[in-house]
Structure 1
Amino acid sequence: MDFKTNVLLFSTSMLVVTSLVYGIKFFKRGNYLLGLEWLIVTFSGSNFLIFALAGIQGAYSISYFCDAFSRAFGIPIVTTLGLMAITHRFKPSLKVDAWLFATSFAGAVALVAVPSLAPFKPVFYVVMWTAFSFYLAYFAKRLFNAGEGGHAAGVIVVLILTQAIASIYDFYQIPGDTEHIVFYILAGLAWSSLCVELYYAYCALENAEQNAISRKLPTSRKAYV
């Protein structure tokens, strides 16, 4: 394998590892929306890795579907609702979580399987991701206001990186990158950064919010917390 292919395998492996590790961490924190979405990214990356190594077309098809799910619904909707556990105290039941994933998967199936939707998919993906970026900007503001300037900056960085990837995905080809290898390398690294930074930013804001609540409690009540 040539140098670019090796870097692609490294980038994809990084995505698989980071999404798996931090998906499990989100599960341990009780956030099943974020945990499951991160594991879907793991599954997608793993199948893309199998395709890159063995050329198995079925693995590529699975990765393609999971990618469509994450770009259209998993990140823009599921991840936003998962982060809202901190910003808006949104904590749905497991039944609501299951319903949300089921409807999102149905939407992804329609996007992939219905030919008449094909011309609209690129714009739809960008619009959905842009909406997510606006929420990330709000999330970064909340972090900054809570005294977590470092994580606020980190969220802004991953916002810029992933928005750039989403914006050029279907509309721009990197010069000389006829097989899109360079693009997939950059996409894998950008999404890996997203998986890692959002976990630590989530934890930082959660801790900051809990500390703020604790400081507001009367002294007589703090002894029992």
Structure 2
Amino acid sequence: MKKRNYLLGIEMWVVGVSATNAIVFFATGSAISWNIAHFFDEFSRGFGMPIIAVAGLMAITHDYRPSVRMDVLLFAVASVITLAFVTTDFFDDFLPYYNLVMWTLFSVYLAYFIKRLLNVGAGFQAIVLLLGLVTSQAIACVYDFYKIPGDETNIVFNFYTLALCSWAYFMPAVYYAYCALERSCNQGLAVSRPVPFRN
């Protein structure tokens, strides 16, 4: 089954690159890995998931198919704004609230997506995605506003471990939820098509 959903696919790669570089940084202390992880993390929290991934998911919920030019434009604009966010101090006070609002709006859309899954009988995928919604929203709420006691000294059980585990669960949950809803839509189309007459 060819998805050809570049918005959703590339954003999932972005999250993977961010998480991989975060792990490399924690293991080696590499400043380059930290800068890459930080940029892509901010990209995904502020634009990648709340805007780009939602546009990708809307291919199945609203039959929204943007042109390649629009795909490129979305990533380009998001990249430029993210670069401004991470390289200047001007947005420091505003950014935590912006990220939280954007992720909360993303969670609202995911709640709608879960409802669509329930409507087509994909209860298991709905529950799996609901768990991803709850854990990722909890991470978004804690991220810039609450520091776990002992976070700086605890290497194994700290905030970033929880965040990475949450996102590692969240990405396949979104993917399989998308596949389940896509299968249901495709089956609906197949049923609605007239059967050709044969002698």
TM-score bin (small chain): over 0.9
The partner residue of 2:150 within 170, 173, 176 is 176
Match of 1:137 in 2: 111
The partner residue of 2:42 within 50, 68, 82 is 68
Amino acid at match of 1:208: S
Counterpart contact for 1:173–1:180, Cα < 8 Å: no
Q: TM-score scaled by structure 2?
A: 0.93
The partner residue of 1:204 within 146, 157, 180 is 180
Which whole-Å deviations, capped at 9, do the CAs of 1:5-52 have from their partners, x for residues lacking one? xxxxxxxxxxxxxxxxxxxx9xx5211111111111122122222212
Q: Tell me the secondary structure at the aligned position of residue 118 of structure 1.
A: coil
Q: Could you list the structure 1 runs, at least 4 aligned residues long, displaced by more than 4 angstroms after superposition.
A: none
Cα separation, partners in 2 of 1:116 and 1:200, compared to 1, 3 Å: same
Taking the aligned partners of 1:79 and 1:179, their CA distance within structure 2 comes to 34
How much has 1:89 moved relative to structure 2? Answer: 0.8
Q: Tell me the secondary structure at the aligned position of residue 220 of structure 1.
A: coil
Taking the aligned partners of 2:71 and 2:193, their CA distance within structure 1 comes to 32
Are 1:187 and 2:163 counterparts? yes
Which whole-Å deviations, capped at 9, do the CAs of 1:84-135 have from their partners, x for residues lacking one? 1100111112211111100010111121123121100000000000000000
Cα separation, partners in 2 of 1:209 and 1:59, compared to 1, 3 Å: same
Q: Tell me the secondary structure at the aligned position of residue 183 of structure 2.
A: helix
Match of 2:190 in 1: 214
Percentage identity across aligned positions? 43
Taking the aligned partners of 2:162 and 2:151, their CA distance within structure 1 comes to 12
Taking the aligned partners of 1:30 and 1:174, their CA distance within structure 2 comes to 40
Cα separation, partners in 2 of 1:180 and 1:108, compared to 1, 3 Å: farther
How much has 1:219 moved relative to structure 2? Answer: 2.6
Cα separation, partners in 2 of 1:208 and 1:180, compared to 1, 3 Å: farther
Amino acid at match of 2:128: G
Match of 1:32 in 2: 6
- The structure whose RCO (Cα within 8 Å, separation 6+) is larger is 1
Q: TM-score scaled by structure 1?
A: 0.82
Taking the aligned partners of 2:154 and 2:142, their CA distance within structure 1 comes to 11
Task: Provide the aligned C-alpha RMSD in A.
Answer: 1.7
Q: Tell me the secondary structure at the aligned position of residue 103 of structure 1.
A: helix
Q: Tell me the secondary structure at the aligned position of residue 175 of structure 1.
A: coil
1:22-171 alignment, distance < 5 Å: 28-171=2-145
How much has 1:55 moved relative to structure 2? Answer: 1.3
Which whole-Å deviations, capped at 9, do the CAs of 1:118-172 have from their partners, x for residues lacking one? 1000000000000000000000000000110111111111000000000000111
Q: Which structure carries more helix by proportion? A: 1
- Number of equivalenced pairs: 196
Taking the aligned partners of 1:195 and 1:57, their CA distance within structure 2 comes to 26
Q: Give 5+ residue unaligned stretches, structure 2.
A: none
Q: Give 5+ residue unaligned stretches, structure 1.
A: 1-24
Larger displacement relative to structure 2 (46-55 or 98-107): 46-55
